[in-house]
């Protein structure tokens, strides 16, 4: 049985990999470097800003512009925020070494959404209130995008998001850009690959976090359009220590392949069982 996720770039032979949001962390860095152009347009209005302390990384000087990593630093998807922050640190260092943006250095700051829309909105408002020299927002995963993008857009702040949710396929938010493909496009790609490999029965095993759950309906739609069979659809509680029940149900369904994304140790435990 070949186990796959929606995460591996097509040229790699193995399908088992970390989640899409992990795979695209490098895109956050690439997008941030490109966003230096967008930041340049904001530099003039930020030149008189007061200093701001960085959540992680180098200290911000009076002339520094802040790139905020608005993402989960706690909760089920707590690994995402630090992953993007590392990308931010690397990209800003490269930009700073090249002279910065109109003479201004960049620094990175973490803002914890906890992966929960109810916590994400206050965190976003606090980010704006405490960061007068804010120049750019990155992160913004599927966990919180729907709730925070309108707030960010209302503040006329450029944001590079890491969400594949279908509601952003045709977005009208002027300042929003996303760095990952739509969930529907990824699910179609995975389904086509499975079909080309001769698989007919598909099992889904996704974590119960918002970011993973947004993929399921797209996958079911793709599987149906391809004339394949959805053999099983199990949700993995990321706080659980065992997934034996879910594993037994999937084994009993006799799928040809498993599509899965579950952050942290959940997938390793699930697959071992």
Domain range annotation of the chain: 2-15+183-272, 25-178
Strand order in the sheet with 106-112: 106-112, 65-71, 134-141, 159-162, 176-178
The reply to whether domains 2-15+183-272 and 25-178 share a CATH topology is yes
| Residue 13: partners with Cβ closer than 8 Å, 6 or more residues away | none
Encoding tokens for residue 131?
Answer: 């960061």
Count CB-CB contacts under 10 A for residue 164: 28
Question: Which of 29, 18, 14 is CA-nearest to residue 67?
Answer: 29
> Which pLDDT does position 72 carry in this prediction?
95
> Which pLDDT does position 52 carry in this prediction?
35
Chain segment 120-163, per-residue pLDDT in tens: 999 999 999 999 999 999 999 988 999 999 999 999 999 999 98
Count CB-CB contacts under 10 A for residue 45: 10
* The CATH classification of domain 25-178, taken from the options 3.40.50.2300, 2.30.110.10, 3.40.190.10, 3.90.1200.10: 3.40.50.2300
| Domain range 2-15+183-272, CATH class | alpha beta
> Which pLDDT does position 213 carry in this prediction?
84
* Size (the chain), residues: 273
Q: Which residues of the chain have pLDDT under 50?
A: 1-2, 4-30, 33-34, 36-62
> Which pLDDT does position 55 carry in this prediction?
41
The predicted model scores a pTM of 0.67
Chain segment 244-260, per-residue pLDDT in tens: 999 999 999 999 999 99
């Amino acid at each position: 049985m070949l186990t796959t996720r929606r995460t591996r770039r097509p040229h790699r032979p193995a399908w088992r990999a970390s989640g899409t949001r992990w795979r695209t962390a490098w895109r956050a860095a690439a997008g941030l470097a490109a966003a230096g152009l967008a930041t340049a347009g904001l530099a003039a209005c930020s030149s008189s800003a007061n200093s701001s302390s960085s959540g992680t990384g180098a200290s911000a000087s009076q002339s520094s512009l802040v790139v905020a990593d608005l993402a989960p630093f706690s909760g089920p998807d707590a690994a995402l925020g630090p992953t993007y922050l590392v990308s931010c640190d690397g990209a800003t260092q490269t930009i700073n070494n090249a002279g910065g943006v109109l003479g201004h250095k960049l620094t990175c700051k973490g803002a914890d959404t906890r992966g929960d829309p109810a916590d994400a909105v206050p965190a976003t408002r606090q980010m704006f209130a405490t960061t007068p020299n804010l120049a750019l927002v990155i992160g913004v995963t599927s966990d919180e995008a729907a709730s925070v993008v309108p707030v960010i857009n209302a503040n006329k702040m450029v944001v590079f998001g890491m969400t594949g949710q279908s509601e952003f396929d045709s977005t009208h938010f002027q300042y929003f850009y996303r760095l990952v493909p739509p969930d529907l496009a990824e699910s179609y790609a995975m389904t086509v690959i499975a079909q080309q490999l001769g698989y007919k029965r598909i099992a889904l095993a996704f974590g119960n976090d918002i970011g993973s759950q947004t993929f399921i309906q797209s996958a079911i739609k793709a599987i149906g359009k391809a004339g394949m069979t959805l053999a099983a659809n199990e949700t993995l509680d990321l706080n659980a220590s065992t997934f034996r029940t879910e594993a037994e149900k999937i084994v009993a369904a006799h799928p040809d392949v498993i599509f899965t994304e579950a952050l942290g140790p959940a997938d390793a435990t699930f697959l071992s069982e």
